[in-house]
Chains A and B, each alone.
Chain A
């Protein structure tokens, strides 16, 4: 191969962005087309530098917007290459139109989304509004809680996305600044091991195969559109989870690091639990442990795979719990939070009749502190003691001014 290998220490001090860039290098991505946007810029900068320094045999394509970035990625993926890029917030919003093209054309693209609030008002800090914006676009969505996850999940993303039974693009999410710019010790894989896990890219119906000409992105109208969407939905609902599970299992064999579709923490005998995403999972785990010392049986459910939504795994994880808090880090603007909705959907026809409340927190980078979570766990316990939900269905954590609550 015409590129240089890089010697890594077993543990490197990397932030989430650099960890993701290293994963793109080790996966030997053929084409990265990117437009810079805070806080994801260093991912593609890192890849560009690896390319110019001879560590990747790929192409770095500079474009004039995120819409063009994803469009170029779609073209490169249809042409038959391993493709990735990164974005955040407004850039992600600009990409959304093309995200549907990528998934509808069944192209395996990996998109690192460093989550950030959506304007207005303008804000570069983290929340999950952009993650939620893309959740119906037909992409697989994985969620990293820390730089280590951001590194590891990229390998899983390529592996699942490029599987010929799946052929759907995949996002890897990490929290803006909190994961993307916070350096931690990251356990590394050697270049050979990492590439071995991802495997060589196997094209399917690529446009550069002149012997077998095909048309990508065709028009279908009412005659075929529904069938194509139904098939895409079916594949997401039935094929993706087993492939992710298999990739997690293989990854554990390779690295010793275990990932689960739903990450249960102290859930075996939990009465109260918090369900959340991203960096909040780690904070919630710490608080749950402290609550146990105070006699409250607290647990945490972290969601690793947002799309397809793990309905069955969630229902299983929440069996026997008496009070659940769904934490949504996005502005639901006129409804309850996404997690609240989907957890309610997961539990509705099951025997679990737990009390469920929704909390909105951390918008635009506002901190979620341990004190917030202590109060929240106690509120859940108070509901159990009272035998009924005594709190409103939707509450806001840490917003200034009079208490906000609805329903």
Chain B
């Protein structure tokens, strides 16, 4: 798509969320929304990331904490069930891991190059509460 010139977009570094009209934002899947051309939806921040969150659904209680806290709306949730992380928009801040309440945590940060299956296979065990 040809990029717009300085005189073609709206003033104020202001973005309309969607090009088309969407009546039911909550019920429309992320991938089905008509994001505007220069919206950050099309801009990957994956190359900022040094560590990545890995999601282990065995422990997840679908509390949605990570979903609401993620500053980049990168946790993908369908019908209140956690599916995974949008790795194009996750910048690796670790907030999702911080807020995850399960024991052991259902999300943990690993080096960017870590192999996901290995990490899930070696997932930490439950922390014993201190007496």
Contact = CB atoms under 8 A, between A and B. Distances in A.
B43 A221 contact: yes
Contacts of B39: 215
Contact of A215 (B5, B11, B14): B14
A217 B12 CA distance: 8
B17 interface: yes
B11 A167 contact: yes
A224 B13 CA distance: 9
Nearest to A106: B12
A interface, size bucket: 20 to 34
Main SS of the interface on chain B?
loop
B70 interface: no
Interface stretch (A229-237, A260-268, A346-354): A229-237
Interface string B1-42: 000111101111111110000000100000000000011100
Contacts of B38: 220, 223-224
A355 B98 CA distance: 67
A105 B43 contact: no
A119 interface: no
A96 B89 CA distance: 31
Given A107-B12, A227-B6, A234-B6, A213 B17 contact: yes
Given A223-B43, A227-B5, A228-B6, A218 B15 contact: yes
B15 to A, nearest CB: 4
Contacts of B14: 105-106, 205, 214-216, 218
A216 B10 CA distance: 12
Contact of A217 (B6, B7, B10, B13): B13
Interface in A77-112: 104-107
A215 B15 contact: yes
Contacts of B9: 224, 227, 231
Contacts of A220: 13, 38
A218 B6 contact: no
A212 B17 CA distance: 9
A231 B7 contact: yes
A219 interface: yes
A231 B25 CA distance: 31
A224 to B, nearest CB: 6
B12 A104 contact: yes
Given A213-B17, A215-B17, A205 B12 contact: yes
Contacts of B7: 231, 234
Given A104-B13, A214-B16, A228-B13, 5 more contacts: A167-B12, A205-B10, A218-B13, A218-B15, A228-B6
14 contacts: A104-B12, A105-B12, A106-B12, A205-B10, A213-B16, A213-B17, A214-B15, A218-B13, A220-B38, A223-B43, A224-B38, A227-B5, A227-B9, A231-B9
Interface of A: 104-107, 167, 205, 212-221, 223-224, 226-228, 230-232, 234-235
